[in-house]
């Protein structure tokens, strides 16, 4: 047998059609059934691990990959541990991976081995601060290990976006002159960082607020650097004319400095500058025919893999932002065992899932990807990420759907408009997880009669 065929044969488990036992099926299929177990196929080789008796492919000298991984980790982490209890728990956590070969490959890195050794010896405390100290030398390895430790309860929850945001602020401040760095640091840490720390919880990711904060801080840095380099003025001596010149000679993203000057006014740094609200000049949308064509492609076509077809359908059918799609949990989907109908909770009450999307969603639930990490099959995310305990990043979904040619904001606006054309704004808001204000604004923009719905009190 060639290598790939041997690998498939020694990793195929199921029910043998001859004897009816559930075990490894390395034998070729019979005429009227699928692959068979070794005894039924007349294969004399013993596929059982000499240590744990697991039946499958040998990885090293008669033992399976999981036992080989435990040997390696025992030698690496339990030779001279500072505290044997957490070191043993760390070994158990890493050995729980559904595919232990991936952990074996991961730990071959010299950076990973140095990190694990430092944690085991006590040189690096088993804490978020300890892992942060390896950010410059083993950033990705430290983040991966952090995700595993948080998922299995060895470390308290820490929002990954928040921790990376803190490091991002420090990196941004380093090359700037003091005249620019001081007000930016004050704004970034006392306005944004303190606010995001207060709202970040295990059930509420900081991804959206961090993204918005980065945009505002970046634009503020650009403005204050230009102000210092061009006019030799600071945030405290900035004039209204400086701000007006900056805003009228560049892109609309410059409007993001408004939050900085609101903060500057509250703290007494600058009381002279006023910046009004920015109103978008256009509202992107796509033709309804194009939306339906994309829905048909995602539901029946093969242009993308299953998870991204499901995510795209949630956008096009239920007008869901990708940040919310990525963070959906499996318990948001409810399958009625009696009737077979499926509902999904996106707002205050579940909404029905029509066919053929119901079948597609059900198939995705049974075949979610990224469940072969050390988190096992315990992930509660509808779209699990590659790191334990984390969901797929919204930007990953965004790039895949944009790669297909789907205009994301226009698709969401058109989908929401279609719902509002037949349903009152308050009901759409409750069903899809929007605020009443947003649905009424969309109804107004679309010119729908429901925006003047007399049965509801319009929010002010």
Say if residue 345's pLDDT is above 90: yes
Single out the residue in 102, 135, 157 at which a domain terminates. 157
Of the given ranges (49-53, 83-87, 261-265, 280-284), which has the lowest mean pLDDT? 280-284
Residue 70 lies in a domain: no
Say if residue 165's pLDDT is above 60: yes
Q: How far apart are CA 230 and CA 209, in angstroms?
A: 31
Q: How far apart are CA 120 and CA 78, in angstroms?
A: 7
Question: What pLDDT is recorded for position 280?
Answer: 59
Mean pLDDT confidence for 311-337 = 93
Single out the residue in 157, 179, 204 at which a domain terminates. 157
Q: Report the number of distinct structural domains present in the chain.
A: 4
DSSP state of 356: T
Q: 167 or 63, which is more confident? A: 63
Nearby residues of 76 by Cβ (< 8 Å), 6 or more positions away: 107, 113, 116, 117, 120
Q: What are phi and psi of 342, to 5 degrees?
A: -125, 135
* Residue whose C-alpha is closest to residue 314's, from 441, 432, 438: 432
Confidence of residue 133 (pLDDT cuts 50, 70, 90): confident
Residue 64 lies in a domain: no
Query: Please, are residues 130 and 88 in contact by the beta-carbon 8 Å criterion?
Result: no
Q: 380 or 183, which is more confident? A: 183
Of the given ranges (163-177, 193-207, 240-254, 379-393), which has the lowest mean pLDDT? 193-207
Question: How many C-beta neighbours within 10 Å does residue 455 have?
Answer: 7
Say if residue 142's pLDDT is above 50: yes
Residues 218 and 314 grouped into a single domain: no
pTM of the model: 0.67
Residues 374 and 422 grouped into a single domain: yes
Three-state secondary-structure class, residue 39: helix
Name 13's bridge partners: 24
The tens digit of pLDDT for each residue in 251-272 reads: 989 999 999 999 999 999 988 8
Residue 279 lies in a domain: no
Angle between helices 84-95 and 65-77 (to 10 degrees): 160
Mean pLDDT of the chain: 88
Residues 339 and 427 grouped into a single domain: yes
Residues 439 and 316 grouped into a single domain: yes
Residues 34 and 90 grouped into a single domain: no
- State both tokens at 74: 């025992």
Confidence of residue 139 (pLDDT cuts 50, 70, 90): confident
Q: CATH number of the domain at 360, please.
A: 1.10.443.10
The tens digit of pLDDT for each residue in 204-235 reads: 778 888 989 999 999 999 999 999 999 999 99
Of the given ranges (140-149, 185-194, 354-363), which has the lowest mean pLDDT? 140-149
Angle between helices 408-420 and 425-432 (to 10 degrees): 130
Q: Cis peptide leading into 228, omega within 30 of 0?
A: no
Nearby residues of 340 by Cβ (< 8 Å), 6 or more positions away: none
Question: What pLDDT is recorded for position 68?
Answer: 95
Residues 7 and 148 grouped into a single domain: no
Question: What pLDDT is recorded for position 279?
Answer: 60
Question: What pLDDT is recorded for position 292?
Answer: 94
Q: SS3 for 79-123, per residue? A: CCCCCHHHHHHHHHHHHCCCCHHHHHHHHCCHHHHHHHHHHHHCC
Residues 409 and 313 grouped into a single domain: yes
Residue 62 lies in a domain: no
Confidence of residue 23 (pLDDT cuts 50, 70, 90): very high
Residue 72 lies in a domain: no
Residues 169 and 149 grouped into a single domain: no
Confidence of residue 460 (pLDDT cuts 50, 70, 90): very low
Residue 142 lies in a domain: yes
Residue 65 lies in a domain: no
Question: What pLDDT is recorded for position 376?
Answer: 54
Question: What pLDDT is recorded for position 309?
Answer: 95
Q: How far apart are CA 166 and CA 377, in angstroms?
A: 31
* Residue whose C-alpha is closest to residue 368's, from 280, 305, 278: 305
Say if residue 379's pLDDT is above 70: yes
Query: Please, are residues 155 and 149 in contact by the beta-carbon 8 Å criterion?
Result: yes
Residues 329 and 435 grouped into a single domain: yes
Residues 315 and 436 grouped into a single domain: yes
Residues 315 and 350 grouped into a single domain: yes
Question: What pLDDT is recorded for position 8?
Answer: 87
What is the domain range of residue 319? 288-452
* Residue whose C-alpha is closest to residue 217's, from 240, 194, 195, 193: 193
Single out the residue in 157, 190, 209 at which a domain terminates. 157
The tens digit of pLDDT for each residue in 39-53 reads: 999 999 899 999 999
Residues 216 and 248 grouped into a single domain: yes
Residue 139 lies in a domain: yes
């Amino acid at each position: 047998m060639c290598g790939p065929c041997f690998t498939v044969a020694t990793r195929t488990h199921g029910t043998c059609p001859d004897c009816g036992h559930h075990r490894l099926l390395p034998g070729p299929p019979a005429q009227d059934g699928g692959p068979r177990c070794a005894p039924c196929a007349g294969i004399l080789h013993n596929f059982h691990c000499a240590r744990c008796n697991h039946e499958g492919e040998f990885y090293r000298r008669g033992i399976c990959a999981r036992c080989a991984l435990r040997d390696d980790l025992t030698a690496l982490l339990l030779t001279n541990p500072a505290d044997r209890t957490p070191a043993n728990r760390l070994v158990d956590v890493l050995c729980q991976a559904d595919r232990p070969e991936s952990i074996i490959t991961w730990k071959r890195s010299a950076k990973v081995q140095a990190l694990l050794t430092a944690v085991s010896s006590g040189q690096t405390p088993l804490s978020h601060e300890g892992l942060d100290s390896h950010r410059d030398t083993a950033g990705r390895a430290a983040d991966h290990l952090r995700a595993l430790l948080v998922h299995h309860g060895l470390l308290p929850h820490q929002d990954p976006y928040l921790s990376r945001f803190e490091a991002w602020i420090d990196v941004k401040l380093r090359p700037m002159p003091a005249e620019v760095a001081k007000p930016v640091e004050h704004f970034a840490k006392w306005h944004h960082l303190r606010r995001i720390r207060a709202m970040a919880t295990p059930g509420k990711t900081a991804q959206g607020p961090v993204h918005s904060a980065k945009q505002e801080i970046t634009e503020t840095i650009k403005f204050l650097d230009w102000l210092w380099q061009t006019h030799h003025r600071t945030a405290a001596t900035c004039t209204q004319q400086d701000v007006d010149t900056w805003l009228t000679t560049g892109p609309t993203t410059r409007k993001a400095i408004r939050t900085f000057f609101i903060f500057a006014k509250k703290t007494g740094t600058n009381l002279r500058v006023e910046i009004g609200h920015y109103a978008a000049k256009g509202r992107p949308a796509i033709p309804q025919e194009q939306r339906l064509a994309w829905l048909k492609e995602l539901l029946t076509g093969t242009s993308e893999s299953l998870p991204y077809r499901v995510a795209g359908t949630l956008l096009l059918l239920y007008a869901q932002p990708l940040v919310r799609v990525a963070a959906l949990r499996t318990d948001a989907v409810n399958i009625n065992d009696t009737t077979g109908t499926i509902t999904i909770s996106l707002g205050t009450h579940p909404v029905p899932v029509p066919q053929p999307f119901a079948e597609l969603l059900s198939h995705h639930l049974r075949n979610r990807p990224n469940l072969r990490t050390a988190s096992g099959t315990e992930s509660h995310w509808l779209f699990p990420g590659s790191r334990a305990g984390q969901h797929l990043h919204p930007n990953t979904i965004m790039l895949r759907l944009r790669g297909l040619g789907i205009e994301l904001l226009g698709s969401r606006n058109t989908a929401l408009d279609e719902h509002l054309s037949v349903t009152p704004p308050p009901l759409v808001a409750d069903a899809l997880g929007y605020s009443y204000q947003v649905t009424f604004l969309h109804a107004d923009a679309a010119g729908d009669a429901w925006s003047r719905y007399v049965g509801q009190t319009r929010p002010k």
